[in-house]
Amino acid sequence: MSTARADRRDETRIVADPALPTIVITREFEASPERVFRAYTDPELVVQWLGPRRLTMRIDAYEAHSGGSYRYVHREDDGTEYGFRGVFHEVRRDERIVQTFAFDGHPDGVSLETTLFEDLGGRTRVTTTSLMYSIEARDSMIRSGMRRGVSEGHERLDELLDSATAAARTDQSPTRKA
């Protein structure tokens, strides 16, 4: 079962628009919009998947509601930390998140991110469009190694959704009622 599931997994697509200062990230997940949305907004879940595998994540704030703020830190084994922060302009349950995003190391390089959750009938397509002030800023973001971090994060989210599905299946199994 888990092998068949793995075979069906989508790949993360990351597209830099030739004309606009945007990055469009698209990925499909084997779970409902409700579950995927929760994984994007509940800090106890976010901390389990966001970012590359080699980094440890610490969440200082994650107020995923319209008007809320967030801040988190990714940490290398050698102690180096990368902090990120922003505000949520809108969090529309199971549908849409609009937030700002900035890296502590370059606080003036603010981007606007819109994430949409589309119901594909049990599966969910997530599309995040990041908008920056210039093509140069966008290209610099692409060159920063974000592709690998984003793809690995999505793989970790697959695993989290799988394990939650397995746990739910176990909870519902007749043997548990004994």
Nearer to a second copy, 21 or 51 (CB): 21
Round to whole Å and give the CA distance between 5 and 162. 9
Whether 71 and 84 have beta carbons less than 8 Å apart is answered as: yes
Q: Least distance from C-beta 133 to a second copy, angstroms?
A: 6
User: Judged by CB, which is closer to a second copy: 59, or 135?
Assistant: 135
CB of 7 to a second copy, least distance (A): 35
Q: Does 11 bind a second copy (CB under 8 A)?
A: no
Residues in the chain: 178
Please report whether residue 112 would count as binding a second copy according to CB under 8 A. yes
Q: Using CB under 8 A, which residues numbered 73 to 92 contact a second copy?
A: 86-90
Rounded Cα gap, residues 128 and 124, in angstroms: 13
Contact residue for a second copy among 12, 26, 48, 69 (CB under 8 A): 69
Sign of the CA dihedral running 103, 104, 105, 109: positive
Angle at 56 between CA 70 and CA 89, to 5 degrees: 15
For strand 124-131 and strand 22-29, is the pairing parallel, antiparallel, or unpaired? antiparallel
Task: Give the number of other Cβ atoms within 10 Å of residue 114's Cβ.
Answer: 16
Site pattern 114..153 for a second copy (x: CB under 8 A) = x--------------x-xxxxx------------------
Give the interface with a second copy as residue ranges (CB under 8 A).
19-22, 66-67, 69, 86-90, 96, 98, 100, 102, 107-108, 110-112, 114, 129, 131-135
